Structure 1
Amino acid sequence: MSVNIYDAYIPIYVRAINNTIHLLTKGEAFTKEKGISEADVMAWRLAPDMLPFTFQVQTICNNAKNLLGKITGIEQAKVEDNEKTFAELHARLNSTLELLNGAKREQFEGKDKAEITAGRNGEIKLSGLQFVQGMGIPNLYFHVTTIYALFRSHGAPLGKLDFLRGKDA
């Protein structure tokens, strides 16, 4: 049985990015209320050797865009990772949503079995479906979870439903 990767990828990424926008919105309100500077938030890390808050958002967007390119074969424009404010991160997430919402189901037909190379040197070879399910989605949720954890670790009033349901929480 063939699976259209569109169904396994686009709706999940769109929902997760919308939920990330909700986390950012609620987290930003909390940090403003508490007088935490935007620059401090952008530099937050869960551990000294982890990359900062901004990287987490940028990586969600980069992975969504790069995965779209890998699966469809349509080259995606390079985006600089230079966001330094909540407004810039919101704009980045929204532009990624526009890109994903513009994807057509037909672009993904037959791509479930197509070979996708991954890893820094292309050493990982997976089918399109394996790539989405085994690397793309877990990586997406790793970075969304990190954003959630960064806000929670600083006292933001976010709950499990904020993570799971976003603005519908």
Structure 2
Amino acid sequence: MALTFHKMAVAPAISALKNAHFVVSKGYEHAKASDPNTFLTASLHPDMKDFRYQIYRLTDAAKFIPSRVNPSLEGITLPDEEQTFPELLERIEKCTKYLESFSEKDFEGKQDDEVIIKFPGGQKQVRMPAAEYISRFAHPNMWFHIVTAYDILRMKGVDVGKMDFLNGAGGITIEDVPQQ
């Protein structure tokens, strides 16, 4: 099976979103025993944004992939309005379904097309080929915010581990090693 640009760009984002959903669900279950708002407003450092912000940005990083790589594809609007765990989980689900709606054909031949990312404030922008955008900007940005959200939950005492992060949604088959 050949590695297509769609598999490189979209499949990891879908997997990451599904695993993030699993981790956030575990966080929600844990938070129910106390005040969920203390989890939602928690950050790792006073100069860092809170848990909700991390979910906003990780879904934004993923949702922009299709329309930046192929401007003819319709984007999805996800305003930063979610304030509760159920609302954040729904946001992750919407983003996942959106990414799942695209096919290999939507990304075919787009890896060398130029992507322009304009930064907030309109004073700066970055131009790069789509494949570079995925590997050096979109995915790293998404992973940064997923890890930060995961770390906030760990800091708050949620029992999540590395395998929850990597395979919480069960996308990877893990099997016993045959005994000799």
TM-score w.r.t. length of structure 1: 0.91
Q: Report the Cα offset of residue 166 of structure 1.
A: 0.8
Q: Which amino acid aligns with 1:25?
A: S
In structure 2, distance between residues paired with 1:167 and 1:15: 8
- Count of residue pairs the alignment pairs up: 166
Larger Rg: 2
Looking at structure 2, the residues matched to 108 and 130 of structure 1 have their Cα atoms a distance apart, in angstroms, of 14
Q: Provide the residue aligned with 2:79 in structure 1.
A: 80
The Cα of 1:123 is off from its aligned counterpart by: 2.7
Partner deviation per Cα, 1:113-152 (whole Å, 9 max, x = no partner) = 0011124145311100000001111111101101110011
Tell me the amino acid that sits aligned with residue 42 of structure 2: W
What percentage of residue pairs aligned between the two structures are identical? 25
CA contact (8 A) 2:54 2:149 kept: yes
In structure 2, how many angstroms separate the alpha carbons of the residues matched to 1:75 and 1:29?
35
8 A contact 1:20–1:144 mirrored in 2: yes
More helix by proportion, 1 or 2? 1
Specify the alignment match of 1:19 in structure 2.
19
8 A Cα contact 2:76 2:98, kept in partner: no
The equivalences for 1:3-152 within 5 A come to 4-33=4-33, 35=34, 37-73=35-71, 74-120=73-119, 121=122, 123-152=125-154
Which runs of 5 or more residues in structure 2 are unaligned? 175-180
CA-atom RMSD, angstroms? 1.8
Between the aligned partners of 1:112 and 1:167, the Cα distance in structure 2 is: 28
Unaligned stretches of 5+ residues in structure 1: none
Structure 2 distance, partners of 1:15, 1:134, is 18
User: Residue deviations 1:4-50, cap 9 Å, x none?
Assistant: 421111110010000000101111111223x1x12221111111111
Q: Do the aligned partners of 1:114 and 1:128 also contact (CA within 8 Å) in 2?
A: yes
Q: Deviations over 1:58-103 (max 9, x none)?
A: 1111121212111111241432101000110111011111100001
Separation of aligned partners in 2, 1:17 and 1:24? 10
SS of match in other structure, 2:16 = helix
Task: Detail structure 1 runs of 4+ shifted over 2 Å in the superposition.
Answer: none
Structure 2 length normalisation: TM-score?
0.86
Give yes or no for contact 2:59–2:142 (8 Å, CA) kept in 1. no
Look up the SS of the partner of 1:167 in the other structure.
coil
